[in-house]
Amino acid sequence: MKYLSKAVAFSGPSGSGKTTLIEKLAKTLTQQYKVLVIKHDPKDKANFDVKGKDSYKFFNTGADTVVLSPTRTTYFSHQKREVKDIINMLKFDYLLVEGLKEIELPRISIFRGKIETEYLPYSDAIAIDNTIKIKSDLKLDVLNLNDTKTILKWINKNAKVVKS
């Protein structure tokens, strides 16, 4: 089976709606396509397992651990993986990346209330709600944060094919 392998990234301040938008996009895309989401955890604060459970105990031995169940597979690794490593490991039609400004992917930055300009150098488009008024000199595509269909069109037009 041939996969599209299209990738796009999302950035924006905390609370701007990145996760909500990615969730909406993934729900729509997974109706027809294989979707992979990578979320950046720059402060290393996410909790993925519960103390006392077998997978927690195995992982804390220093071993990489894979948990297989009837509905999912979870992979825990002690080695930092680069996005390119994950891309090469998995098959997908669409890759949606939350964060990771340093990787070169077409990027939509999400804003509510105000545009935080430090995100603009990494952005190819912005998705905003009606609380923001746009200056005419902005040289980025401007998308309605609440118009998932238009955002999907932008993704299909601009996403980077990351493997053949």
- Provide the whole-model pTM: 0.86
Torsions phi, psi for 152 (to 5 deg): -65, -40
Q: Is there a domain that residue 77 lies in?
A: no
What are 104-139's pLDDT values in tens digits?
A: 999 999 999 999 999 999 999 999 998 888 876 788
Range of the domain at 17: 6-43+82-161
Smallest Cα–Cα separation from 126: which of 31, 53, 18, 35?
A: 18
Query: What confidence tens digit (pLDDT) does each residue in 8-30 have?
Result: 999 999 999 999 999 999 999 99
Per-residue confidence at 45, pLDDT binned at 50, 70, 90? low
* 66 lies in some domain: no
Q: Which of 13, 41, 35 is nearest to 152 (CA)?
A: 35
Identify whether 144 is part of a domain: yes
Give the model's pLDDT for residue 64. 78
Mean pLDDT to the nearest integer, 51-59? 80
Residue 130 lies in a domain: yes
CATH of residue 91's domain is: 3.40.50.300
Q: What is the pLDDT of residues 69-104, one digit of tens each?
A: 888 888 888 888 888 888 888 899 999 998 888 889
> Does 59 map to a domain?
no
73 in any annotated domain:
no
Helix (H) or strand (E) holding 36: strand 35-39
Q: Would 64 be classed as within a structural domain?
A: no
Q: At what angle do helices 18-29 and 148-158 cross, to 10 degrees?
A: 80
Please give the tally of structural domains in the chain: 1
- The verdict on residue 11 lying in a domain is yes
Mean pLDDT of the chain: 88
